[in-house]
Amino acid sequence: MQKHYLLFLFLIPFMVSGQSVVNSVHNLSVRGPGTIKAQSESEICIFCHTTHTSAPIAPLWNRNKSGAAYLLYNSSTLDALPGQPDGSSILCLSCHDGTIALGNLISKPGVEFNKGVTTMPIGKSNLTTDLSDDHPISFVYDAALAVKDKELNKPTDIMFPVQLEKGKLQCTSCHDPHKDIYNNFLVATNQSSNLCLSCHKTNNWMASSHQTSNNTWNGNGENPWFHTPYTTVATNACENCHNPHNAGGKERLMKYRKEEDNCYDCHNGNVATTNIQQQFVKSYRHNVSGYVGVHNPIEVGIPKDKHVECSDCHNAHAAKHADATAPNVKASNAGVQGISQAGTVVESVAYEYEICYRCHSQNAVTPSSVTHVIAQNNVRMEFDPGNYSYHPVAAIGKNNNVPSLISPLTTTSMIYCSDCHTSDGANSPAGPHGSIYPQILKSNYNRSAYSPESVMAYALCYSCHDRNSILSDQTFAYHKLHVAQQAISCVACHDSHGISSSQASPQSSTHLINFNTGKGFAQEADGLLRYEDTGENHGKCYLTCHGKKHSGLSY
């Protein structure tokens, strides 16, 4: 009786009404509130503590430690050095790794449980000996670690009640086994990721959509927040994408193994306003589902291993809604790495095209679908402001006389890559996710060298260039003859991105002219297949086209 009385006095601080272990599932006695409880044992604290022969002495532990060798969390972005669990963590695991019977107590071996329960049943509370899908524990958290990992607070800045245990992060840094006020025995609420932010800090997070959006789940499909009690994007915050225990995507503790599934969870029209997921089933798309585990957040510059994932273009910690004008990066793409027009690595892009250059420059991902006289698959070189002509993606265009431009476009306007390469359809979400048209174009663009002219045939071009202006020869005196009457397509003469100055001359590559060699054009006897600019609204063509020889034919 005296032994039990002393133990009771020792544990009084943990048994305050409303915060008591008595009312939690850690009360494994016969009168416990949970589904797992002893058949007859009435003592509450005995399942963890004993007054004598404890192991270790503090905190009077009544269970043997597991002898298991644990598989530890690891990822390319981990700067800490987790070791085999120690301190309070190894004590927690004496139940939660599922290797030792719950009733195997030092002071009273063989306590029996209901429903044939011996060890921790399979489920979220049984972490198993594979801790690679759980938040890392038992690592030194010191100032040196905070210097190495820029997204960690200094130990002195960790917000109470999160506390280190002898300089290490342990289970009890986040969990209080005696009180279950905030669910899962957390030491503080994780609403809006308050608990996560005690240690973690992320640039631009506080203004991001995942921190501020009040969108809720509409009840269709699967609940994106199956692992939390919260009901909005803002209140789930980090846990919109991450799961600190039993994560499906072990590296970085993502909810799901497939990277895009962590985005589809909300961006399928059931939480976010637009349905991005349906765009990726279209014939032409950035094929995010074609790669698993290839993307690495620490890869620098142009990826060595070909892949595309949502996070190559979007930073979930920084993305938000805000207006932007070309060429400035859109807020939904903020905080993404890219390649500058000069070819250098940019840690956080300023311009949208820098994101595109990361894959579509140097070693091109996708060769051109059109064979031009001057072949170039490096988009960065095609848009180089030093070129003699280019669409105005990286700089204002060179041509001051473009009467076909549709207002508000002018010759000083700039455009985005995604003004042409974006999801098709009037109400589709912005961005090059998926399209029914090749090259993820927003509208049709016939690539046959000979194709009957129509609004639909060149809908992409006509979204910026007035069709009536083109066919009334305001830009070029023979547009109507070539395009409407002889059915010669835009792509027969023009290279839509631009022509690298390293491969062309000022006379041969103005007005985006770069003849298509693969669809019926032939060289003249002198070997020429080119265009020559001879001044404002004047030029010469050297080629055979529509059965007619243009051997220096001028206009």
pLDDT average, residue stretch 180-189? 95
- What is the reported pLDDT for 9? 43
- What is the reported pLDDT for 7? 45
The pLDDT tens digits for 228-247 are 999 999 999 999 999 999 99
SS3 label, residue 198: helix
- What is the reported pLDDT for 364? 56
Average pLDDT, the chain: 91
- What is the reported pLDDT for 524? 58
CB neighbours of residue 16 within 10 Å: 12
- What is the reported pLDDT for 15? 44
- What is the reported pLDDT for 5? 43
Cβ neighbours of residue 553 under 8 Å, at least 6 residues apart?
Answer: 540, 541
Q: Is the pLDDT of residue 452 over 50?
A: yes
Band (pLDDT 50/70/90 cuts) for residue 140 is very high
Residue 554's beta-bridge partner residues?
Answer: 540
Residue 139's beta-bridge partner residues?
Answer: 169
Q: Give φ, ψ of 534 to 5 degrees.
A: -115, 15
- What is the reported pLDDT for 552? 81
- What is the reported pLDDT for 554? 85
- What is the reported pLDDT for 57? 86
Q: Where is average pLDDT lowest: 115-129, 354-368, 391-405, 429-443?
A: 354-368
- Residue of higher predicted confidence among 154 and 367: 154
Share of the chain above pLDDT 70, in %: 94
Residue 533's beta-bridge partner residues?
Answer: 539
- What is the reported pLDDT for 4? 46
- What is the reported pLDDT for 3? 47
Q: Is the pLDDT of residue 366 over 90?
A: no
C-alpha to C-alpha distance for 95 and 64, rounded to whole angstroms: 10
Q: Is the pLDDT of residue 8 over 80?
A: no
Band (pLDDT 50/70/90 cuts) for residue 11 is very low
C-alpha to C-alpha distance for 112 and 95, rounded to whole angstroms: 15
Highest-confidence segment of 50-54, 183-187, 521-525: 183-187
C-alpha to C-alpha distance for 170 and 59, rounded to whole angstroms: 15
- What is the reported pLDDT for 341? 97
Q: Indicate the helix (H) or strand (E) that contains 263.
A: helix 261-264
- What is the reported pLDDT for 555? 83
279 and 429 in contact (C-beta within 8 Å)?
yes
Locus of tokens 């700067």 = 79
- Residue of higher predicted confidence among 57 and 240: 240
Domain boundaries, the chain: 1-143+168-188, 368-555
The pLDDT tens digits for 496-519 are 999 999 998 888 889 999 988 865
- What is the reported pLDDT for 522? 60
Q: Is the pLDDT of residue 529 over 90?
A: no
pTM score, two decimals?
Answer: 0.90
> Letter for the amino acid at 179?
K
The pLDDT tens digits for 466-501 are 999 999 988 888 999 999 999 999 998 999 999 999
